[in-house]
Homo-oligomer: A and B are copies of this chain.
Amino acid sequence: MKKPKYQLIVDFIKEKISKGEWAIGSRIPSQRKLAKMFVVNRSTVITALEELMAEGLIEGKAGMGTVVTNNTWTLMGNQSSLNWTENISLGTHKPSILTVQEINEAESDNNLIQLSKGELSPDTFPLEEMKSIIQKVSEQLTPFGYEEPKGNIKLREAISDYLKNRGMDVSPSSILVVSGALQALHLISIGLLQRGSTVFLEIPSYLYSLTVFQSAGMMLKGIRMDKEGIMVDSIYPINEKGKSILYTIPSFHNPTGTLMQEKRRNDVIEYCEREQLPIIEDDVYRDLWIDAPPPESLKSRDRYGNVLYLGSLSKTLSPGLRIGWIVGSESVINRLSDLKMQSDYGSSTLSQLVATEWLSCGLYNRHLENVRQQLKVRRNKALEALNKHLQFYATWEIPKGGLFIWIKVKPQFKVKKLFDKALSKGILLNPGSIYAEHSGHFIRLSYGAASLDEIEDGVYQLSEIIKNQ
């Protein structure tokens, strides 16, 4: 005899609870989610939940949804059980912003049109080259254990050469291999700044969508930008030494796409030298230029070791490698490498070997040429679609590289509503609000991930939503 459907749900939840996977105090999935999981009506879910409530295993709590209140053992022994849920809200580090969590989750949904993802499309992935490089690495493999604290020396040499080609003369001992630029920020936040420090940054900025510095007890302070980049005049007077830092993305800024100009770069460097304000230069989009190479980095203008420079293979090759680097004064790099060891004992050997091979065999530069061609087609397609469908409803600048177009929707349209509506129609985009409080009228459109048809279709559908709003 087949079990009734509600019983399947009861059994499933009981098992989760009794194995301790859904601990006491934790929320169970919403009725909507359960109905979807089991492909049943909501009424069937309700029948199941009522039975579990009757058994005393779950309980509806105001503002919390339905939570686990007991398990078979606590019921038996009448024993109060540990409540992990309390711990979840205790840690010093904040959870991600809710909208960001929602976007993160939706980004792995392949049925959506991804106008959100800040990464290259799988079409751009150099599969054959990657395969042959991995095979080469496996042929040359020797037994491997923990890596050197700063990262594999061959990889650091390859990064040093790579940087030399981009105007930066840096020894391998001044380079720390990290698992991407985000980890670099995490290490800097716990290792170089005291609680209460100020992080100056462009407004809007990608960094606002993260909680990395706030979690470490720092404040973010926005600096205005114009088309040339950060406006130096708008940096507030700086408080005591060692209590502030400037975070900037001078090349193909995320989310606005702005490219900081030559003169502005010199101004920023001069200002920061004079004011003894250290700089974090996040330069992960440098290689994604479309029309012309960007001006030289701030780091290449840095005569005092004032700039910590971040680079990565995530945006150009694949984020799955988890390989990036921090460049800075040796004493700073030593401190950060100790913290890297403390937090994960270094990055994956396999990833480091594969990255070394990519950077040193010439394939990387060839791959970049291909990426740039494809990005140009994609950007132009996006601009064409925007001109066709959105020119009366929005304005934007033409990005000269990177992955993003920063679109200002005319004030009468509510972008939060646009985001929700678009998502319900299968289009994922990033609302400007996650990048700065007063960026509510903007959306960030990525032309890197979706297909050309999807870009056209996505922009068209956005325009329809706006028209009908």
Contact = CB atoms under 8 A, between A and B. Distances in A.
Contact of A276 (B81, B141, B277): B81
A131 B135 CA distance: 9
Q: Taking chain A's interface residues, is the majority helix, strand, or loop, or is none over half, making it mixed?
A: loop
A23 interface: yes
Contact of A344 (B88, B95, B134, B180): B180
Contacts of A210: 342
B348 A82 contact: no
B104 A320 contact: no
Contacts of A148: 108
B193 A341 contact: no
B19 A170 contact: yes
A83 interface: yes
Interface in A190-217: 190-195, 197, 210-212, 215-217
Interface string A14-53: 0010111111111100000000000000000000000000
A215 B342 CA distance: 10
A425 to B, nearest CB: 24
A20 B320 contact: no
Nearest to A82: B276
Interface stretch (A3-11, A328-336, A375-383): A328-336
Interface stretch (A298-306, A362-370, A415-423): A298-306
B346 A350 contact: no
B18 A303 contact: yes
Given A122-B143, A304-B71, A318-B349, A215 B190 contact: yes
B80 A194 contact: no
Interface residues of A, number: 117
A451 interface: no
Contacts of A104: 149, 341
Interface string A107-133: 110000000000100100101001100
A347 to B, nearest CB: 7
A140 to B, nearest CB: 10
A278 B84 CA distance: 8
Contacts of A73: 303-304
Interface stretch (A171-179, A252-260, A286-294, A434-442): A171-179
Contacts of A85: 331
24 contacts: A19-B170, A20-B329, A71-B304, A81-B276, A82-B276, A82-B278, A84-B278, A84-B306, A88-B332, A90-B192, A92-B194, A122-B142, A122-B145, A127-B141, A127-B142, A131-B138, A131-B141, A134-B137, A144-B320, A182-B343, A183-B345, A186-B342, A320-B350, A321-B348
Interface of A: 16, 18-27, 71, 73-74, 79-88, 90-93, 95-96, 101, 104, 107-108, 119, 122, 125, 127, 130-131, 134-135, 137-139, 141-149, 169-171, 173-174, 178-180, 182-183, 186, 189-195, 197, 210-212, 215-217, 241-242, 273-274, 276-278, 302-306, 314, 318-322, 328-332, 335, 338-339, 341-351, 354
